[in-house]
Chains A and B, each alone.
Chain A
Amino acid sequence: GAGVSQSPRYKVAKRGQDVALRCDPISGHVSLFWYQQALGQGPEFLTYFQNEAQLDKSGLPSDRFFAERPEGSVSTLKIQRTQQEDSAVYLCASSLNFGDPSYNEQFFGPGTRLTVL
């Protein structure tokens, strides 16, 4: 079956532009996560949805970052007025979210590589 897909795979933006990154989770997965992976670093948590509810956005680095999942399926991460420090790979993951959350496996998409010039 299809895994998590993300689009676009690569995005180049000029400083100050707005960008929108899309994530299509595995069908039926309740939980959806966004992570940011800077060059040479491990992924860092940005935000988390359970269905359409955004339960944790503690990792969003500034108010220029906004995420939504209006129908509990596809999610969009929007970055306004992009800055060079926003350059990174943005990863999306989804999980079934059944029973004890510790047992839920997160399945990752291939990521969107954002380069801000």
Chain B
Amino acid sequence: AQSVTQLDSHVSVSEGTPVLLRCNYSSSYSPSLFWYVQHPNKGLQLLLKYTSAATLVKGINGFEAEFKKSETSFHLTKPSAHMSDAAEYFCVVSDFGNEKLTFGTGTRLTIIP
């Protein structure tokens, strides 16, 4: 069975400093991995996805993530945080050939002015 573990429930960073949101996954097959963002009172939005192509994936709004099979990790990073990045972030996995998504418990990102 597939699963993801988000290692931090809450991360606070100062505006302009780097962001690191950590995610480890478990999957029986070759997984697809995603990061979704959820702003208050808005729908989930796809930030980026890994589907067995390049291991370093670039997404929207300056975010990127690196797939590391040896570490079963898919951490999300951004070089410089912006106030508008404050939101809930979900790491998500699906098994190869399966559209069903399995979400982590989320990491709430707070940006300090």
A→B interface (CB under 8 Å): 3-4, 31, 33, 35, 40-45, 48, 56, 91, 93, 95, 97, 100-106, 108-111
Contact = CB atoms under 8 A, between A and B. Distances in A.
A104 B90 CA distance: 18
Contacts of B96: 102
B105 interface: yes
Given A91-B44, A100-B97, A102-B96, 6 more contacts: A42-B106, A43-B44, A91-B43, A101-B97, A110-B41, A110-B42
Nearest to B45: A108
Given A102-B51, A103-B51, A105-B49, A44 B103 contact: yes
Contact of A42 (B43, B94, B99, B103): B103
B46 interface: yes
A32 B36 CA distance: 18
Interface in B79-113: 90, 94, 96-106
Contacts of B43: 3-4, 91, 108-111
A45 B100 contact: yes
A74 B17 CA distance: 44
A48 B105 contact: no
A108 B96 CA distance: 21
7 contacts: A41-B106, A43-B90, A43-B103, A44-B103, A104-B99, A105-B46, A108-B44
B106 A106 contact: no
Interface in B32-81: 32, 36, 41-46, 49, 51-52
B98 A106 contact: no
Contacts of A91: 43-44
Contacts of A48: 99-100
